[in-house]
């Protein structure tokens, strides 16, 4: 079995505060990560940390972009067990979208309509939750519990998942960095090369 990670976030940006106020949701953004350390995290969101309405496919991280600017971002991380084949499909789909990112658009209208339980779908156009759901669906991960009009909060109910962290993104990054350093020290003391 392999693992992928669904990262629910609330950054505190003006847009995320408006969404939270309208929906009452704890989280207003969702990303997918291919590793527990969240070094390879992807979504549809703002391309520039200071401009909310210019968005598209983005690689995200605690140390750059929107998450770096909004360093008190609150997150929950859900670990999802998948087969090797499903993991491979997730990876390949992300790589495909990355290579063709200029063909994809941010579904800003769909994002606002989702707050009113309305759907607007256009080809190659996503907001964060639509992208993660479509990615999982294409990769044949069981999303049967997710509604058609998807919001980040709905990913709390994804099958074969467990909550592994809840708190500040920056604290999670400190914890994983500490574990990486500890592992490196242990390996170097044993003379193991990697």
* 69-93 pLDDT, tens digit each: 888 899 999 999 999 999 999 999 9
CA 91 – CA 94 distance, rounded (Å) = 5
Q: Which residues contact 185 (CB under 8 A, 6 or more apart)?
A: none
Give CA–CA dist 191/67, Å, rounded. Answer: 37
SS3 content of the chain, % helix, strand, coil (to 5): 40, 30, 30
The pLDDT of residue 182: 57
Q: Which residues pair with 107 in a beta bridge?
A: none
Is the pLDDT assigned to residue 185 strictly greater than 80?
A: no
pTM above 0.75, yes or no: yes
Pairing relationship of beta strands 51-60 and 74-82 according to DSSP bridges: unpaired
DSSP code at position 64: B
Please answer whether residues 29 and 45 qualify as being in contact, where contact means their C-beta atoms are separated by less than 8 angstroms: yes
Contact predicate 115/23, CB 8 Å: yes
We find that the CATH architecture of domain 2-189 is Alpha-Beta Complex (3.90)
Q: How confident is the model at residue 191 (pLDDT cuts 50, 70, 90)?
A: low
Which ranges of 43-168 would DSSP assign to H, the alpha helix?
65-69, 84-99, 108-114, 128-138
């Amino acid at each position: 079995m392999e693992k992928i990670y669904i990262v629910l976030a609330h950054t505190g940006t003006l847009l995320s505060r408006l969404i939270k106020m309208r929906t009452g949701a704890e989280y207003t953004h969702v990303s997918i990560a291919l590793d527990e350390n969240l070094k390879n995290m992807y979504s549809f969101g703002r391309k520039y940390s200071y401009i909310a309405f210019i968005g598209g496919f983005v690689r995200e991280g605690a140390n750059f972009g929107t998450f770096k600017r909004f360093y008190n971002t609150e997150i929950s991380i859900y670990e999802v067990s998948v087969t090797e084949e499903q993991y491979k499909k997730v990876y390949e789909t992300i790589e495909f979208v990355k290579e063709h990112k200029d063909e994809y658009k941010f579904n800003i209208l769909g994002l606002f309509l989702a707050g009113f339980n309305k759907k607007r779908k256009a080809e190659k156009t996503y907001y964060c939750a639509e992208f993660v759901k479509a990615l999982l669906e294409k990769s044949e991960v069981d999303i049967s519990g997710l509604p058609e009009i998807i919001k980040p909060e709905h990913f709390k109910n994804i099958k074969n998942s467990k909550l592994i962290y809840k708190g500040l993104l920056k604290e999670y990054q400190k914890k994983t960095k500490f574990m990486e350093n500890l592992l490196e020290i242990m390996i170097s003391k044993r003379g193991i090369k990697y």
